Structure 1
Amino acid sequence: MNRAGSRLCLVEDDPIMGESLMLRFQLEGIQADWFVSAAEALVATENFDYSLLLSDIKLPDISGQEMYQTLLKRSSAPPSTLFITGFGSIDQAVELLKLGARDYITKPFDLDDLLGKLRSISPELFEFESIAGAENVLGISASMLTIQQTLRQVAGHDVSVLITGESGVGKEYVANYSHRCDKQRKQQPFEAVNCAGLVENLLEAELFGYEKGAFTGAVRKHRGVFERADGGCLFLDEIGDMPVSMQAKLLRVIQDGSLHRIGGEQAIQVNTRLISATNRDLKKAVLSGEFREDLFFRINVIHLEIPPLRDRPEDIAWFAHRFIVEYAWAHEEQHFLSPAAEDYLLSRSWPGNIRQLRHCIERACILASQEVLGPRDLGQEQFDGEEVFAVSDADLKGQLQEHEKRVILHALDVHQWRIVETAEHLGISRKNLWEKMRRYTIQPPVDLLNNSANPVDVVPE
């Protein structure tokens, strides 16, 4: 048997769940092989010694329990196994625990909860070496591969990193990736704070914390992000917008490695790696006196410039497909991009970068009436320049939700509130339609509920 190293074996016949899990594993740096049947997995486990087996209990050929029993007969030390189960098969999952399985997780589940279980069972899956070949974690363009390589090279060195680039290019995600590259710190907290989102006194309290009674409203002690990130990484977004007076206090903490909470007298030692980001030109800000030169040199040991999306077109389709998979995972709706849709995405300039692309894909998935997305679904007819996206994140989300509610109400009226027919018309599952109706508090009219000649579907409990 060949040693697969720190590798996961996934057995899942649902294409949406399988693809979503594999994408998240890739982003987490977990090496994994995906099989859609127990037979395929049993062949693979004969040839490779996997660290962990993650399997659905219900499979198309034999059950996960039968597969696990086969593994037990074959070897006295099968891979650590975690099962995915529905509510109806919890008893079966408990039986598997008695047989030796490590744990189970019940659908629907949060991906972070699953990762927590995987980490506790097989922490070696999360070792950095496993992502050495995952060359498309941040994108597939040459510029992003170079940035990934740089981050891997500086991993483990306590040097400050400055990330610059336009709004929406994914600076926080790059910072988080840098944290995960650091073997010594990645198990410790990653804290983030937006320096432009808080007024100066609140920013100081969030950075350094405060003692009980330090000011009106300070009813208890508060640990700032420097303390909370002790041993890990602190990400200061939009550091170029930090007031000059706050810059001096930040510099002192960086230099001394200690801080005083507001209202406190005791020096608190902190060991925090600093990653900063801005969309401003800090060199110009230094010349104009808006940014301290000594702080600039402190935070700018390693400088990474993230290019705008328009300058790396090969990443556009990659991110679009990734966002479609993420939407499918969250909403149980599968979509695909037509070749014409991909061409249309490549023709756009994307001034809002990755954030704008994500909104475009989410909007298309919400409003599309079919699985295959075309240029019209992506807003081709609505664009006259790029101003249609000049709205805040909250505004866009609200508009999309309101439009989705109107579409659902119209479809329900057309089909006289017959849920199965309406769901088929909208191209979504009956369960997903009910979830959306609950979310938007859509209730059938009373006269329809009482009309035995034309009854609506019963709302599931």
Structure 2
Amino acid sequence: MPEIPYPLRGESAAIRRAREHLARAAGTDYPILLTGESGVGKQAAAEWTHGLSARAKHPFVEVNSSCWNGNTMVHSVLFGHERGAFTGANIRREGCFERADGGTLFLDEIGELSMEVQPMLLKAIDQGLIEPVGAARPKRVEVRLVCATNRNLDEEVRAGRFRLDLHARIGALEIRIPSLSERLEDLEILWMGLCARRGLEVPFTPEIRAQVSAGELRDNLRGLERLAIRMAVWGDQGVGERILGSERVTSF
């Protein structure tokens, strides 16, 4: 069994339940939809699930779905293209589905996917076939799909921003990754693990717990890392610094 990744460590009921659901889902080939706030560790959860699955020796391909919006080459990004398919296509290039063949395709930020792109994705999921640009015939691929979002897709469907049929396909197994405020008893473990990973020597203090408890820390684990760096540089003054949700030091 692969090591439990840092964001999923702890013994709170919330994170133990999430780990149990991930482990059970890993033994199937059904699509998984990971939900939860920004920075809770959805990427780490996807990679851990892949490592637990029978596909562990095959590729794990991660794609940020929001990058496809407004991209005129989205069909090529998804499904690849043949040499000479269009101007500048000097070599054959595999799309993300083909690169993940036999393994896991992780589509992060799936809730940001435009309505124009959603039908392309739905067709590939439904049929298991992709059509590279310029190809003479469709190509069969076999991937395990894991998606992640911090949006409420039920609300997105009601608002007309997300297709109901696509939601039904990707949401067979929905697993919510808890926020830090739901697992306060794990804070010290996470803090010490974070400091060890970053080579920081910053002790855990009651002030850190108080800031998270009060809801003053944005972006969960990313916010916790920003706080650790500020305390390493500025000492206790770093606890009082405003946490800017738009800043990103790393991703989990």
Residues 138-178 of structure 1, C-alpha deviations (whole Å, 9 max, x = no match) = 43321111011111112221100001111111111111111
Q: Is the 8 A contact 2:202 2:228 kept in 1?
A: no
Q: Aligned-pair distance for 1:336?
A: 4.2
From 193, 197, 208, the equivalent of 2:63 is 193
Q: Aligned-pair distance for 1:352?
A: 1.2
Equivalent residue number for residue 195 of structure 2: 324
Q: Aligned-pair distance for 1:305?
A: 1.5
Q: Give the Cα–Cα distance (whole angstroms) in 1 for the partners of residues 19 and 100 of structure 2.
A: 23
- The 5 A counterparts of 1:298-317 are 298-317=169-188
From 103, 106, 117, the equivalent of 1:246 is 117
- The 5 A counterparts of 1:283-432 are 283-328=154-199, 335-337=201-203, 341-348=204-211, 349=215, 350-365=217-232, 367=233, 375-376=236-237, 379-381=238-240, 383=241, 386=242, 388-393=243-248
Equivalent residue number for residue 46 of structure 2: 175
Q: CA RMSD in A?
A: 2.3
Q: Give the Cα–Cα distance (whole angstroms) in 2 for the partners of residues 143 and 212 of structure 1.
A: 49
Equivalent residue number for residue 271 of structure 1: 142
Q: Give the Cα–Cα distance (whole angstroms) in 2 for the partners of residues 279 and 187 of structure 1.
A: 29
Q: Aligned-pair distance for 1:354?
A: 0.7
CA gap of 1:262–1:362, structure 2 versus 1, over 3 A, is farther
Q: Aligned-pair distance for 1:289?
A: 1.8
> Any stretches of 5+ residues in structure 1 without a counterpart?
1-5, 7-24, 29-134, 329-333, 369-373, 398-461
Higher helix share: 1
Provide the secondary structure at the position in 2 that maps to 1:375.
helix
CA gap of 1:362–1:27, structure 2 versus 1, over 3 A, is farther
Provide the secondary structure at the position in 1 that maps to 2:117.
helix
Q: Aligned-pair distance for 1:218?
A: 2.0
Q: Give the Cα–Cα distance (whole angstroms) in 1 for the partners of residues 229 and 104 of structure 2.
A: 31
Q: Aligned-pair distance for 1:263?
A: 2.3
Equivalent residue number for residue 229 of structure 1: 100
Q: Give the Cα–Cα distance (whole angstroms) in 2 for the partners of residues 190 and 363 of structure 1.
A: 34
Equivalent residue number for residue 81 of structure 2: 210
Higher relative contact order by CA 8 Å / sep ≥ 6: 1 or 2? 2
The alignment of Structure 1 onto Structure 2 pairs a total of residues equal to: 245
Provide the secondary structure at the position in 2 that maps to 1:192.
strand
Q: Aligned-pair distance for 1:222?
A: 0.8
CA gap of 1:315–1:197, structure 2 versus 1, over 3 A, is farther
Provide the secondary structure at the position in 1 that maps to 2:223.
helix
- Name the aligned partner's letter for residue 226 of structure 2: H
- Name the aligned partner's letter for residue 195 of structure 1: S
Q: Aligned-pair distance for 1:136?
A: 8.8
Q: Is the 8 A contact 2:9 2:189 kept in 1?
A: no
Residues 287-316 of structure 1, C-alpha deviations (whole Å, 9 max, x = no match) = 222111111110001111122212211222
So what's the TM-score if we normalise by structure 1? 0.50
- Name the aligned partner's letter for residue 375 of structure 1: D
Q: Is the 8 A contact 2:9 2:190 kept in 1?
A: no
Q: Give the Cα–Cα distance (whole angstroms) in 1 for the partners of residues 180 and 90 of structure 2.
A: 46
Q: Aligned-pair distance for 1:351?
A: 1.9
Equivalent residue number for residue 14 of structure 1: none
CA gap of 1:324–1:230, structure 2 versus 1, over 3 A, is same
Equivalent residue number for residue 164 of structure 1: 35
Q: Is the 8 A contact 1:160 1:273 kept in 2?
A: yes
So what's the TM-score if we normalise by structure 2? 0.88
Provide the secondary structure at the position in 2 that maps to 1:235.
strand
Q: Give the Cα–Cα distance (whole angstroms) in 1 for the partners of residues 79 and 230 of structure 2.
A: 39
- Name the aligned partner's letter for residue 171 of structure 1: K
Equivalent residue number for residue 16 of structure 1: none
The structure with the larger Rg is 1
Q: Aligned-pair distance for 1:137?
A: 4.5
Q: Give the Cα–Cα distance (whole angstroms) in 2 for the partners of residues 298 and 351 of structure 1.
A: 31
